[in-house]
Copies of this chain bind each other. A is one copy, B any other.
Amino acid sequence: MTQNIYKLSILKLDHRPFRDKRITTHCALVTRSFGAKNFYFSGVDDNNLKNGVNDITNKWGGPFNIDYIEDPLNFVIKKKEEKYIIIHLTMYGINLFTEINNLKEKIINKNTLIIVGGPKVPKEYYQLADYNIAIGNQPHSEISAISLILYLLNPKFIENNEFKNKKIEIMPNNNYKNIKNI
């Protein structure tokens, strides 16, 4: 039996270093911890963001890649030409919880780009997306949206804690902090 593989990347639109510093960092960290391998962001380039996330990957393991994208619309068009499945996360979309089994079947073994916007995403992204998906149709957070879709697509990733080249690892414990150096 060949193994099913998820090849997931996240594109976060419109990063603004002052306003979004911690929000975009959290988006990148949940992307890594829930099993996507690439985090792309557009808006304003930000070395502090990239260095902070790369420091986490060096310490806690990878592989994981963070990159700035200057022209995100063109980036999505190119990925579509390369046969990526494009998913756009929006509170206005079809509900993930009704769509998850269908989605898993469609993206298995295919490159998949998941776009996360903000309040004002240009309509071109809605049109380019194969799926406009809501994680519930309530206002909450792009951080929880990324974590829920990645977890429900591939729950085994975080359950198995599959990170390579790590320097430290937590030994889960109900009573105290237990960190192992590797």
What residues of chain A have their CB less than 8 Å away from a CB belonging to chain B?
19-20, 22-23, 26, 29-30, 32-34, 56, 60, 91-95, 97-98, 126, 131-132, 134-141, 143-144, 146-148, 151, 155, 158-159, 161, 163, 169-170, 172-179
Task: Choose one: B19, B29, B94, B178; the contact of A139 (CB below 8 Å).
Answer: B29
Main secondary structure on chain A at its contact with chain B? Answer: mixed
Min CB distance A123 to B, Å, is 8
For the complex, what is the distance from the CA of A9 to the CA of B140, rounded to whole Å? Answer: 17
Task: Choose one: B29, B134, B144; the contact of A147 (CB below 8 Å).
Answer: B144
* B143–A92 touching, CB < 8 Å: no
Which residues of B lie under 8 Å from residue A91 when comparing CB positions?
A: 170
* B173–A94 touching, CB < 8 Å: yes
For the complex, what is the distance from the CA of A22 to the CA of B118, rounded to whole Å? Answer: 13
Given A19-B22, A93-B172: 18 more A-B contacts, CB < 8 Å: A20-B22, A29-B138, A30-B144, A32-B138, A32-B140, A34-B136, A34-B140, A34-B144, A56-B139, A94-B172, A97-B155, A97-B158, A132-B174, A132-B175, A135-B158, A136-B158, A143-B144, A147-B147
